[in-house]
Amino acid sequence: MKIVVVNPNTTTAMTEGIGRAARAVASPGTEIVAVNPADGPASIEGYYDEAFAVPGLLAEIAAHPDADGYVVACFDDPGLDAARSATARPVIGIGEAGYHVASMVSGRFGVITTLARSIGALEGNLLKYGLDRRCCGVRAVDLPVLALHDDPELTRERIGTAIEAAKAEDRAEAIVLGCAGMADLAADLTARHGLPVIDGVAAAVKLVEALVGLGVSTCRIGGYAPPLPKHYAGAFAKFAPSE
């Protein structure tokens, strides 16, 4: 089985870390290919960045048609619906994967993300996925995505403080880490804080493996039907759906 994990931003160091996290949980015989586009934002922090990340995401999926499934490795799940229209192979976003897994192991879960500007997008996704009532709150640690690994101790301290606040004030029973850049912290944080801490990268990889193993593909009628053939102008001409 081959799973292509697409980091929709252009920071290769983050892609490498995401790839390590994905390979750490992949089953024997599962090949993980971690990629990122050449064009787009260096990090995704808000709606504006999301918009410019989607073309690169779709281009990477198109460049790997032999994959058995795909992971969108940004917690905002940018372009997820478009990606599912582009391929019948399973496509899982790390945000939705983290939420669904947390909902299976806890009655209430909290989300810890990077910047407060991301909270609205995450709350919107929770509503869309039907899991808003299971989420007891989204907290931000006020660290930009690209700063998460600059000072690992500060990152762990801020996330840890947010987890304890979520436990005490929100009655969280599980925590979902709200950024792919936090992927390598889940096991340590689980041990430190005494509740499940879910990494969306790992969760998404295992869900893709499960869907492929079940022989389940993405629906090709309704909202996820392939795009209709038409002309695309200018810089997006290469994305034009063919006959």
166/144 same-domain check? yes
Rounded Cα–Cα distance for residues 201 and 223 (Å) = 25
pLDDT at 128: 97
Burial of 22 (0-12, 13-18, 19+ CB in 10 A): buried
Low-confidence ranges of the chain (pLDDT < 70): 243
183/217 same-domain check? no
77/127 same-domain check? no
| Overall size of the chain counted in residues | 243
154/122 same-domain check? yes
pTM, rounded to two decimals: 0.95
pLDDT at 147: 86
What are the residues facing 137 on neighbouring strands? 110
Q: What are the DSSP calls for the chain, one per residue?
A: -EEEEE-SSS-HHHHHHHHHHHHHHPPTT-EEEEE--SSS-SS--SHHHHHHHHHHHHHHHHH-TT-SEEEE-STT-TTHHHHHHH-SS-EEEHHHHHHHHHHHH-SSEEEEES-GGGHHHHHHHHHHTT-TTTEEEEEE----GGGTTTSHHHHHHHHHHHHHHHHHHH--SEEEE-SGGGGGGHHHHHHHHTS-EEEHHHHHHHHHHHHHHHT-----SGGGSPPPP----GGGGGGPPP-
Question: pLDDT tens digits for 159-190?
Answer: 999 999 999 999 999 999 999 889 889 999 99
Burial annotation 91-119 (CB, 10 A radius, 16+ → b, else e)? bbbbbbbbbbbbbeebebbbbbbbbeebb
191/218 same-domain check? no
36/109 same-domain check? no
Provide the number of structural domains found in the chain: 2
Q: How many CB atoms lie within 10 A of CB 48?
A: 11
Helix axes 200-214, 94-105, angle to 10 degrees: 90
206/154 same-domain check? no
pLDDT at 149: 81
pLDDT at 184: 87
Rounded Cα–Cα distance for residues 202 and 71 (Å) = 10
pLDDT at 153: 84
Domain range holding 209? Answer: 2-94+202-239
102/194 same-domain check? yes
181/206 same-domain check? no
CATH code for the domain of 145:
3.40.50.12500
